[in-house]
């Protein structure tokens, strides 16, 4: 005898779920998965809508699941895969509520054959660059402490330009930033990056070069793993920073550049000094210089005072010596002075032409002359 479960009719509508409630509940349950999943399968019935979205079915031998790849991620994926192409997709499980259909919301799609080939090419290029010494730490150059002109090789439309400009203006506003525009992904990106890096070598006054992009999926980094780009970067005449903006994966340009930065913002912080740190350094040096000058000035003043005392003493001694010599000479001159002789009662006859009459023969009868005495002259005449 088979037992059967009793069917109880709900007493109120609150005990009954609507289809929408059921779909929403299942969707929340599915989308609550914290991490995206890699799924391998075969693509069939891939349709590209005018919005840019891709809708396709992913299947294996036992089952299949509907998938959607939205516009931005679809544009990165490139050409839609043909029916029967085996691929890896990265996606999150979800539910299309209107139809109650389980689906996989895909963010990345890679052909399984391409994965191995790309990795092999990456390893080949890496081995060549390493053999030529482009990864050698000995060739790495130090970044300038105070770069005034910086070349930024990146896409003009990307977030890297905004990030670098913002950080540079905040830290070192006087720095000059030269944006050398180049494609950073897709067709022609390798050629564009090589051209831009070669152009940096022709720009006058450049102190530093930053090359990179503002993040992206792993396949978007292909240009930065190119041998041509890596060799062009190694040939840049000034120190270089690679800022690809993808912290999980390291590109080959990260290994070739003199310094690697995780993001363009981090590259800008490495490229320029922080004016606040510089001002603090200047203040510290000013205090140390003032203290040193004060001590040195005090020492010099003390030495000058001692030297002045010595000079003053020597000058006084020299003056005393000269004063004594002058006094002795004055005494000697005083003793030899004719006025001194006249003071003892003598007189000197002087002819009209100013000659001193020394002999009797020089006196002529009736000729006038003067007698010079101690306090003046007297007119006289020869009588006999």
Least confident of 15-29, 89-103, 343-357: 15-29
The topology under which CATH files domain 18-111 is: OB fold (Dihydrolipoamide Acetyltransferase, E2P) (2.40.50)
Average pLDDT value for residue range 275-296:
82
Whether residue 151 contacts residue 202, with contact meaning beta carbons closer than 8 Å, is answered with no
Neighbour tally for 29: CB within 10 Å: 11
Average pLDDT value for residue range 313-339:
78
Whether residue 84 contacts residue 58, with contact meaning beta carbons closer than 8 Å, is answered with no
Question: pLDDT tens digits, residue range 112-151?
Answer: 775 556 667 888 999 999 999 999 999 999 999 999 999 9
Least confident of 81-90, 115-124, 319-328: 115-124
Question: pLDDT tens digits, residue range 188-199?
Answer: 999 999 999 999
Task: Output 188 or 349, whichever has higher pLDDT.
Answer: 188
Q: DSSP string spanning 126-151?
A: HHHHHHTTTT-GGGPPPPPTT-SEEE
Whether residue 237 contacts residue 141, with contact meaning beta carbons closer than 8 Å, is answered with no
Task: Output 26 or 369, whichever has higher pLDDT.
Answer: 369
Q: Supply 200's token pair.
A: 């940096």
Task: Output 331 or 259, whichever has higher pLDDT.
Answer: 259
Least confident of 9-23, 168-182, 246-260: 9-23
Q: Supply 181's token pair.
A: 């525009």
Tell whether the model's pLDDT for residue 4 goes beyond 60: no
Tell whether the model's pLDDT for residue 24 goes beyond 80: no
pLDDT > 90 fraction of the chain, expressed in percent and rounded = 39
Tell whether the model's pLDDT for residue 255 goes beyond 50: yes
Residue 379 binned pLDDT confidence (cut-offs 50, 70, 90): confident
pLDDT at 34: 61
Going by their DSSP bridges, the two strands 149-154 and 208-212 should be labelled as parallel
CA count, 13 A, side-chain hemisphere, 292: 6
CATH architecture of 132-273: 3-Layer(aba) Sandwich (3.40)
Residue 341 binned pLDDT confidence (cut-offs 50, 70, 90): low
Question: pLDDT tens digits, residue range 12-23?
Answer: 666 677 667 776
Q: Supply 206's token pair.
A: 């450049």
pLDDT at 268: 96
Instruction: Select the highest-mean-pLDDT range: 26-30, 116-120, 239-243, 326-330.
Output: 239-243
Residue 293 binned pLDDT confidence (cut-offs 50, 70, 90): confident
What's the whole-number average pLDDT of the chain?
85
- Domain ranges within the chain, ordered by starting residue: 18-111, 132-273, 285-381
Average pLDDT value for residue range 94-119:
79
Instruction: Output the pTM of the full model.
Output: 0.52
pLDDT > 70 fraction of the chain, expressed in percent and rounded = 87
Question: pLDDT tens digits, residue range 363-377?
Answer: 888 788 888 777 888
pLDDT at 233: 97
Residue 1 binned pLDDT confidence (cut-offs 50, 70, 90): very low
Question: pLDDT tens digits, residue range 44-53?
Answer: 889 999 999 9
Please name the residue ranges forming H helices in 177-247: 189-200, 227-234
Task: Output 335 or 159, whichever has higher pLDDT.
Answer: 159
């Amino acid at each position: 005898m088979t037992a059967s479960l009793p069917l109880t009719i709900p007493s109120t509508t609150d005990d009954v779920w609507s289809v929408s409630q059921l779909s929403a509940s299942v969707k929340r349950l599915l989308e609550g998965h914290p991490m995206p999943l890699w799924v391998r399968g075969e693509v069939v019935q891939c349709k590209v809508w005018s919005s840019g979205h891709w809708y396709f079915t992913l299947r294996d031998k036992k089952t299949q699941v509907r998938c959607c790849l939205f516009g931005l991620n679809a544009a990165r994926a490139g050409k839609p895969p043909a029916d029967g192409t085996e691929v890896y997709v990265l996606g999150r499980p979800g539910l299309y509520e209107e139809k109650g259909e389980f689906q996989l919301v895909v963010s990345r799609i890679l052909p399984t054959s391409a994965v191995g080939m790309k990795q092999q090419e990456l390893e080949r290029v890496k081995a060549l660059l390493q053999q030529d010494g482009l990864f050698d730490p000995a060739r790495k150059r130090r970044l300038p402490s105070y770069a005034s002109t910086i070349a930024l090789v990146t896409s003009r439309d990307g977030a890297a330009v905004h990030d670098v400009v913002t950080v540079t203006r905040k830290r070192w506003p006087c720095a000059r930033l030269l944006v050398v525009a180049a494609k950073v992904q897709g067709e022609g990106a390798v050629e564009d990056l090589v051209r831009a890096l070669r152009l940096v070598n022709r720009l006058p006054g450049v102190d530093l070069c930053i090359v990179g992009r503002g993040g992206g999926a792993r396949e978007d980094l292909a240009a930065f793993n190119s041998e041509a780009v890596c060799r062009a970067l190694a040939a840049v005449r000034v120190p270089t920073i690679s800022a690809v903006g993808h912290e999980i994966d390291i590109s080959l340009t990260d290994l070739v550049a003199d310094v690697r930065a995780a993001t363009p913002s981090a590259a800008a912080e490495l490229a320029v000094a922080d004016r606040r740190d510089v001002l603090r350094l200047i203040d510290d040096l000013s205090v140390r210089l003032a203290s040193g000058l004060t001590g040195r000035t005090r020492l010099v003043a003390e030495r000058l005072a001692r030297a002045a005392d010595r000079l003053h003493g020597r000058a006084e001694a020299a003056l005393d010596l000269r004063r004594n010599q002058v006094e002795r000479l004055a005494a000697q001159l005083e003793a030899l002075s004719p006025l001194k002789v006249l003071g003892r009662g003598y007189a000197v006859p002087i002819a009209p032409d100013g000659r001193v009459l020394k002999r009797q023969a020089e006196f002529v009868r009736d000729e006038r002359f003067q007698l010079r005495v101690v306090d003046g002259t007297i007119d006289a005449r020869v009588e006999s």
